[in-house]
Amino acid sequence: MNCRAIAFDLDDTLLRDDLSVSDYTADTLREAARRGFLVIPCSGRARDSMLPIVRRIDCASCFVACNGSEVWSAEGELLHRSLLSHDTTQAIAAFGRRHGVYMQTYQGAHFYFTEEGRWADAYARSSMLTGRFTPDLESFLAAHDICKILMMGEVEHIAAMLAEGQPLFAGRASVTCSKPYFLEFNPPDSNKAHGLEVAGSLFGFTVEEVMAFGDSLNDLSMLQAAGRGVCVANARGDVRALVPHSCPSNQEDGVARYLRQTLLQDPGKETQP
């Protein structure tokens, strides 16, 4: 392929299980940038949750947040945003209330959540955002511009809600999962492939010139649209079945190892020292 850009998911793809970026991975991405490749993190995370990781790798050209709803400069300046309609956010909240699940949305460095307890506590630890208890989420949604709503629940419950929610919100919202216990709602035209298309229009590349890495359903659009989509070994089985290329797991610095072997053609550094 004629590759000009490298795009990658963060959680369970680039990040290790402890949410760190290894020195080997960071050095590999910086070497790719030095050789002229655009480096583009693409995550379901919000901007302020991504910025510490963008600064850690210190070579991003831009980054895609909230499953493609937003594109930001490497310095954190907004380049593009798509929004859910206010009618749709109310319908999504009603759907979550009917199913009795935890819900949250985002503004700046905060997430606003409906239930105190393990889901909010775990999200705060993993996202580096500060949570604010907001039991009347519907009023908050009505008063703000919203590009993502996240629900959390037991894996079987979320799987059933995904199957129900995708046809129910067709044309009004994109419904996907980044983890088996997450259910994510974004504007209908928003996915990671679309986010890369927007980034490409700004930075002068096409999605066919992207090598993309991911592990979950919210990565599938970019994995299938990219010139080469690559699954980490720990990816969901249903995603692996649809993507022809693979690399070692996130715990093994799979993204960096694959880049060393292919784009950088540096076989002496394919594995971590």
- The 10s digit of each residue's pLDDT in 26-72 is 999 999 999 999 999 999 999 999 999 999 999 999 999 999 999 99
Q: What DSSP letter does each residue of 15-58 carry, written as one string? A: S-TTS---HHHHHHHHHHHHTT-EEEEB-SS-HHHHHHHHHHH-
Q: How far apart are CA 36 and CA 30, in angstroms?
A: 10
How many CB atoms are closer than 10 A to CB 18?
6
Pair 156, 227 in one domain:
no
Provide the residue range defining the domain that includes 148.
Answer: 86-186
Given a cut of 60, is residue 109 above it in pLDDT? yes
pLDDT tens readout for residues 210-265: 999 999 999 999 999 999 999 999 999 999 999 999 999 999 999 999 999 999 98
pLDDT of 273 above 50: no
Q: Is the pLDDT of residue 77 over 60?
A: yes
61, 92: one domain? no
- Cα(181)–Cα(9) distance, integer angstroms: 17
Check whether residue 31 and residue 64 sit in a common domain.
yes
Residues 163 and 222 in one domain: no
Domain count, the chain: 2
Q: Indicate whether 12 and 53 sit together in one domain.
A: yes
CATH no. for residue 143? 3.30.1240.10
Does 76 share its domain with 197?
yes
**Percent of the chain at pLDDT above 90?**
96
Alpha-carbon distance of 253 to 62, in angstroms, equals 22
Last-in-domain residue among 186, 219, 242? 186
Q: What's the CATH number where 27 sits?
A: 3.40.50.1000
Are residues 93 and 216 part of one domain?
no
Is the pLDDT score of 193 beyond 70?
Answer: yes
Regarding whether 198 and 63 lie in a shared domain, the answer is yes
Mean pLDDT of 167-186: 97
- Per DSSP, which regions of 164-260 are E strands? 174-176, 182-186, 210-214, 228-232, 245-247
Distances (CA, A) of 38 to 10, 85, 86, 125: 16, 32, 35, 30
Residue that terminates a domain, selected from 163, 186, 209: 186
Of 151, 168, 186, which residue is a domain's last? 186
38/7 Cα distance (integer angstroms):
8
pTM of the model: 0.95
Q: Is it the case that residue 268 has pLDDT exceeding 60?
A: no
Identify whether residues 221 and 247 lie together within a single domain: yes
Are 211 and 176 in a shared domain? no
- pLDDT score of 266: 74
